[in-house]
Amino acid sequence: MGKSLYLLAACTGLALSTPASATTTFAQFLQALPSAKIFTYTNVSSGPNKATITTSASAATVLVANLGSLPSPLLANVSLTAAATALPTLSGSEIDQLFSGTLVLTLLSPQMGLWGPSTHALTVTFANAELKAVSGGAAPTLAASSGAGSVISYSSDFEDLTDTSAEDFSLSFSGSSSILNLLGGRLPNFRISGSGTFAADPSVPEPSTWAICVVGFGLLGGTLRLRRSTALLAA
């Protein structure tokens, strides 16, 4: 009976913690110095890449929050390396350009994670993230969603992200050092501040896990019927 009740409790908790489709924000970052322009957009004049977005190694310190077992917030370095293989396009007043690359959040000091002390807070590898900007504006975004055709991969030593789905992220930028207009089909070089949010659907339990739960419910039902029969005979 004790094992059956344990299985019942575990499976009930599993069911409650596994919504059918509920994309949740599992991590965020904000700049420790909000006005520091730690992101750089640069035009590339030769080779297949048409532009890059990178971070300044000397000033890329951010506050990480809401990430798995980490206490929040914690200081980390952010490293973004992304490249576009096509020039930006203009539709009405909206400028668009696709980027692929990697973003890494590294803690300034180790914390106890899933497999021991680590500084690896989060790595995001992506393809076809969309840089959007309003022509004449100074606050672009870089966003990606697997539901819209982007390819996103997450990894962390503080939250198990291996089996998530419906991944998406959004980097919001502000305070561009240049007004964002297309000149000769290109955006000007600029530096900018930023923050980010990362979301995904929780992982779905393996079929074998649900099979164990079904067996557990069966054992529980059989035990309860046996106890009831025994009680009736004793009466």
Return the amino acid letter for 97: Q
If asked whether residues 135 and 190 sit together in one domain, one would say yes
Which residue, 191, 201, 177, 171, is CA-closest to 62? 171
Q: Does residue 91 sit in the same domain as residue 107?
A: yes
Report the predicted TM-score, pTM, of the whole model to 2 decimal places: 0.78
Question: Between 12 and 199, where is the model more confident?
Answer: 199
One domain for residues 70 and 8: no
Q: How many domains does the chain have?
A: 2
The H-assigned helical ranges of the chain are 2-16, 207-234
pLDDT exceeds 80 at position 216: no
Does the structure show a pLDDT above 90 at 188? yes
Burial class (CB in 10 A: 0-12, 13-18, 19+), 111: middle
- When mean pLDDT is compared across 1-5, 7-11, 85-89, 106-110, the lowest value belongs to 7-11
**Cα–Cα distance between 61 and 198 in angstroms, integer?**
18
- Are 107 and 216 part of one and the same domain? no
Question: 4 lies in which domain range?
Answer: 1-18+205-235
Average pLDDT of the segment spanning 103-123:
97
Mean model confidence pLDDT for the chain: 84
Partner residues linked to 96 by β-bridges: 89, 132
Q: Are 234 and 174 part of one and the same domain?
A: no
Query: Where residue 205 falls among pLDDT bands split at 50, 70, 90?
Result: low
Chain segment 30-53, per-residue pLDDT in tens = 999 999 999 999 999 888 999 999
CA 221 to chain centre: 41
Same-domain check for residues 7 and 109: no
pLDDT recorded at residue 45:
84
Tokens of 48: 């297949």
